[in-house]
Structure formats: structure tokens, C-alpha cells
Amino acid sequence: MKVTIAQINTTNGDLAGNTAKIIQAIEKAKADGSDLVVFPEAATHGYTSQDWFQDRDIIAAAGEPLKAIIPATAGITAIVGTVRENADDDGRRLFNSAAVISNGELVGFADKSLLPEYDVFDDPRWFEPSPAGSHRLFEIAGRKVGIVVCEDFWNDKTFWKERLYEVDPTDEVISLGAEILVAINASPYNKGKIRLRCDMAAHRAKLQKIPIVFVNLVGGNDGIVFDGASLIADEEGDIILQAPAFEEFVGTVELDAGRPDARGITGGEISSIHSALVLGIRDYAAKNGFKKALLGLSGGMDSALVAALATEALGPENVLCVMMPSPYSSAGSISDSEELIANLGCEGRIEPISEAFGLLAKQLKLDAPVRGGSSLAAENMQSRLRGLILMAISNNEGRLLLSTGNKSELAVGYCTLYGDTNGGLAVLGDVLKTEVWAIARELNDRAGREVIPVRIIEKPPSAELAPNQKDEDSLPPYPVMDPILEMYFEQKASPEEIVAAGHDRERVYWILNKVEHPANEFKRQQLPPTIIVSKNAIGVGRRRPITHKYRR
């Protein structure tokens, strides 16, 4: 039996465009002589359509894409992730489904049963769970094929130490006699996820002695990035087809060939984060109609990395780096920035703020900034003037403004609202400062040259809003702070668990109380969409009130 993985990049609400991609992949599968072609979850509509799935006109027209897809399946079977209307009066109005279409006929649907509502997921808000006794077993090319939708595959009691649900729809479909298992997914990227999926699918295939076809969505949608990395495991648990990560892929394999795929997923986690950020920038710009971008280039590490990632995503001819020196900018901030711009081949522009800052500071009778932060209003005014200039250029030239703050800063509020937080997309908002350095070094290694000058990588971090200012005047060193933030955000560890891991008690409580301070939550809730690369990231998956009295 020949099976085709159709790992496509969909756009929310682009029913015509998504349908065209589906039909194109069906034709490719036919040309390959495939018996079955499999698409990701909600491929017709876009999985992250959110409350569009509650609109009556969208619900009423849910089946429209299939009308174009069904005739295209002459001579082949397709499993297509879609949504379908719930005809009952009770419950949510849509099912999240896999449509089974064979030789020009709609055979039936396998509906999603387990509806996640953690991290970035909120399925129960939009979808009704699969009715009891729902059909999930279909005969395709003479084989009994069990079909499950995303979360229905992720509850294997032999793989997970802790589970979120008592039932396991995948076990149920295997018990019905499935000879092949197909899982369609919209599984977002986060650190460690690619390896986890491979291990999970291979474990179940080997244990149950059943081939598994695991197809995942690829592409950026707002801040959520889907990495693809779809795979097919044979009954021995060997991966016989491994789709590349972070790119579209349509590929076919003979299911019974028994030849492991030698490609695998190459590169380490830092390389994967790099690729996720590039894809996130590229898709956010393209899907929102931007061809060009800009950012403020300070001569520091964060903006340098964003500039490098943006040129990779959009092409250097489409990226503008704006240098905005103030009275407190170091001599190297311009020279290092100019060297980076030359290395990248993008456009550079200098827009000084010293004169405007001096006039406004005098008008408002603000004290001059000094090291130690005694005049935060004057410090923040510089950042806000830069934000004003960048937004004016964005409006005037139709460029997407990329925000450059990193997760370590945003977590503890070391940023200026309406200043360096301005923008249409927060590129590094889920990337810790230590990871920023690691990605910069990996980027240079990948290029085989010094794209980001080593001077920028090695200089002490500074906002340069006051004389001789350094980040460590206000914050613990990033190599000390970041492991604490990682445990808090990504492992949801309690303060005492973090202390027990070897971190200083006073520092742990200071950092966590900074993170959870209402003023800093107020800032974070006004950030642009953030490209997510970790679990429980700053962004749509983390929900905290601004107004509260909780204290650690």
C-alpha cells in the first residue's frame, strides 16, 4: 500500500487557497501511484481560526471546501482535516473531523473526541466532542484503517507517566481491528516536540505491531508555529518516512517496504528554534500582506539577531534597519550596527533622537538620566521616541515593524511600554537571553562566517538609556536568571521546587515577584503577537489577570 504525506501550510479562512493546495497534493499523490493521501487537522479552514468557528455563516458553509475536493479524488483515497456542522440542537455547532473521501465519494467522517484546553489550545470553546460510538474505522485499499484526530492520539497509557484523559481513542480503534493507524495533527512546535513525536509514534507502532501515519501541519499562524516533521512508522517502530521540519512536503512511501528513512531530523534544538523563528517571520509577513519589514537596530544582541533572522526570512532587500542614537549611545552602537548591515546586505538608516529628546526633556522638566535609574521617565522617553519614529516609518512605507525584546526582559518588565515593545510581531518574545546568544553563534556557524559581529555577541548587555548603563545594574546576570525563568515558565515549577534545584532563595522570590507584578503583566498583555517556541510561553497560552493580590 502506497501512502502519501501531504504536509501543507494553511492560512486561516483562506478556503480557496487551502483547497487548491489540497487538490494539488492529491494530484501529486496520484502521479506517485499512491493509494492514500493524508492531510493535517482542519486543513480546509486553518486550525487556529479561533472564534471564526463560532460565526453562523462559517458554520453553515463548513462543508463547502469538500465540494471541490471530492471530485479530485477519482482513483485515490484522501483523508482531509476539516470541520463539519453539528446537526443536533445541543452542544457546540462544529465537529473537528477527518473527512474520508474515496474515488469521488465522501465515505464518512472520523470526529475528534478529546478536546484540549491547555497552553495554546481551546478546542472545547469551538468544537463538540465525537459522539459515543462514532465511526473511526474505514476500509482503504483492502486494509482496515483507523483514523484519529490529533489529541486522540496523544493519550497512550504506556508512553505517558501522567495522562489528561481516562479514555484513549487510539486504543479503542486498534481494538476494533485497525491494521493501519492514521493520525492527523495540528501540533505546534516547542522545544523538544519533534523528538517527542517521533518517540511517541515509534513506541506505539512497535508495541501494537501496527504502522502509524502521523501527519502534522506546517507554517506560522500569528505567533503559533507548526513545524510539520510528519512521519510514518512501520510495525517494528522504524521511521520509514520522515518529512522535513519547517517546510511544506508531499512525499510517498510504500508502507510495506520495511526500509528506515535515513534522513531523519537533523540539527539540535537551537537550530530548530532558529528555523521556527524564520518561518514565523516569513509567514506572519506574507499572510498579512507585508513584503517589507523594519526594526530598530541598537548595536546590541537582540536587534542584531532579529535583523539577521528577518533578512533570512524576507530577503535583505526587504529589511530596513534604523539606527537611532541618543546622548547615551556608545561609540560602538553605530559602528557595530553598520558592520552588521554590511554583512547582511540590508538597508540601513540613521535617525538621531538627541535633539528631540533634549527639547522634550527640557519642556517636561525631567531630570537627566543617571546610572541607577533615578529618572525612569527620561530613560523611557528615549525608547518611546524610537518607537514613534519606527511606527511613523512603518505607516509611511507599509513595513511590518519587528519588535526585538527577549523573553528574559519581558518576563521581568525590563522594557518600555509604547517604546521597544512597539511592533507588529515580537520575534524573540519567547526566547531567553541565553538562547539569543546561542542562536547568534549557531547562525554564524551555519553561515560559515561572522554574520553577526562577535563584538556584538560578546558586549555586555545595555539599554543605553543612561550613562554607562548595564542590564546587570537592574537585573541578575542572564545566565543566573534564565534557568529560574525556564523552570517557572516551561516546567511550571513552584518557587520551592526552583530553590530545591539549587537556586538562591532570595533571588528566586525576587525574580518571580517581578514576573508576576501587575505592572509587568500589564505590559505583556499589550505586546504584539509573539512567536512561540516553548511550552507555557508569554502569549496566547499564558493567562494571568492584571489586577490581583497574589504574591510569592
Read out DSSP for 372-402? TTS-HHHHHHHHHHHHHHHHHHHHHHTPEEE
What is the distance of C-alpha 8 from the center of its chain?
Answer: 16
d(CA 279, CA 158): 34
- In this predicted structure, the answer to whether residue 380 has a pLDDT above a threshold of 80 is yes
- In this predicted structure, the answer to whether residue 155 has a pLDDT above a threshold of 80 is yes
pLDDT in tens, 48-67: 999 999 999 999 999 999 99
Residues 6+ apart with CB under 8 A from 346: 307, 310, 311, 316, 317, 319, 320, 321
- In this predicted structure, the answer to whether residue 232 has a pLDDT above a threshold of 90 is yes
Confidence class of residue 259 from pLDDT cuts 50, 70 and 90?
confident
Task: List, in sequence order, every residue forming a beta bridge with 253; answer none if it has no partner.
Answer: 3
Query: In this structure, which amino acid lies at residue 164?
Result: L
The predicted model gives 526-544 an average pLDDT of 92
pLDDT over 70, % of the chain: 100
Among left, alpha and beta (phi > 0; psi -120 to 50; other), residue 259 is: beta
pLDDT in tens, 125-146: 999 999 877 789 999 999 999 9
Query: In this structure, which amino acid lies at residue 319?
Result: V
**103, three cell numbers:** 474515488
The predicted model gives 537-549 an average pLDDT of 90
Q: What is the pLDDT of residue 464?
A: 85
Q: What is the pLDDT of residue 210?
A: 96
- In this predicted structure, the answer to whether residue 532 has a pLDDT above a threshold of 90 is yes
Helices (DSSP H) in 32-104: which residue ranges?
56-60, 64-69
Q: How many helices (H) and strands (E) does the chain have?
A: 17, 19
Q: What is the pLDDT of residue 469?
A: 87
**404, three cell numbers:** 526585538
Confidence class of residue 314 from pLDDT cuts 50, 70 and 90?
very high
- Point out the residues that are catalytic: 41, 112, 150
pLDDT in tens, 328-359: 998 889 999 999 999 999 999 999 999 999 99
Listed range (13-27, 329-343, 367-381) with the worst mean pLDDT: 367-381
Identify the three-state secondary structure at position 177.
coil
pTM for this predicted structure: 0.96
What is the distance of C-alpha 329 from the center of its chain?
Answer: 34
Residues 6+ apart with CB under 8 A from 262: none
d(CA 552, CA 550): 7
d(CA 506, CA 492): 19
Q: What is the pLDDT of residue 135?
A: 82
Q: What is the pLDDT of residue 92?
A: 96
DSSP 40: -
Confidence class of residue 124 from pLDDT cuts 50, 70 and 90?
very high
Structural contact between residues 4 and 32, judged by C-beta atoms closer than 8 angstroms: yes
Lookup result for grid cell 516547542? 190
**Angle formed by the axes of helices 376-397 and 354-363, to 10°?**
130
For 440-443, which contacts have Cβ atoms below 8 Å and span 24 or more sequence positions?
Answer: 440/301, 440/304, 440/305, 440/308, 442/270, 442/271, 442/274, 443/274, 443/305, 443/308, 443/309
Q: What is the pLDDT of residue 374?
A: 72
- In this predicted structure, the answer to whether residue 76 has a pLDDT above a threshold of 90 is yes
Average pLDDT value over all residues in the chain: 95
d(CA 420, CA 177): 58
Domains and CATH numbers, the chain: 2-259 (3.60.110.10), 273-472+518-524 (3.40.50.620)
Lookup result for grid cell 486494509? 143
- In this predicted structure, the answer to whether residue 262 has a pLDDT above a threshold of 80 is no
Buried b or exposed e, range 325-355, using 16+ CB within 10 angstroms: bbbbbbeebbebbbbbbebbebebeebebee
The predicted model gives 81-87 an average pLDDT of 97
φ, ψ (nearest 5 deg) of residue 550 = -70, 135
The side-by-side arrangement of strands in the sheet containing 143-149 is 137-140, 143-149, 180-185, 212-216, 231-233, 239-242
Confidence class of residue 245 from pLDDT cuts 50, 70 and 90?
very high
For 468-475, which contacts have Cβ atoms below 8 Å and span 24 or more sequence positions?
Answer: 468/371, 469/328, 469/369, 469/371, 471/414, 473/371, 473/372, 473/373, 474/373, 474/414, 475/408, 475/412, 475/414
Listed range (151-155, 348-352, 498-502, 534-538) with the worst mean pLDDT: 534-538
Q: What is the pLDDT of residue 539?
A: 82
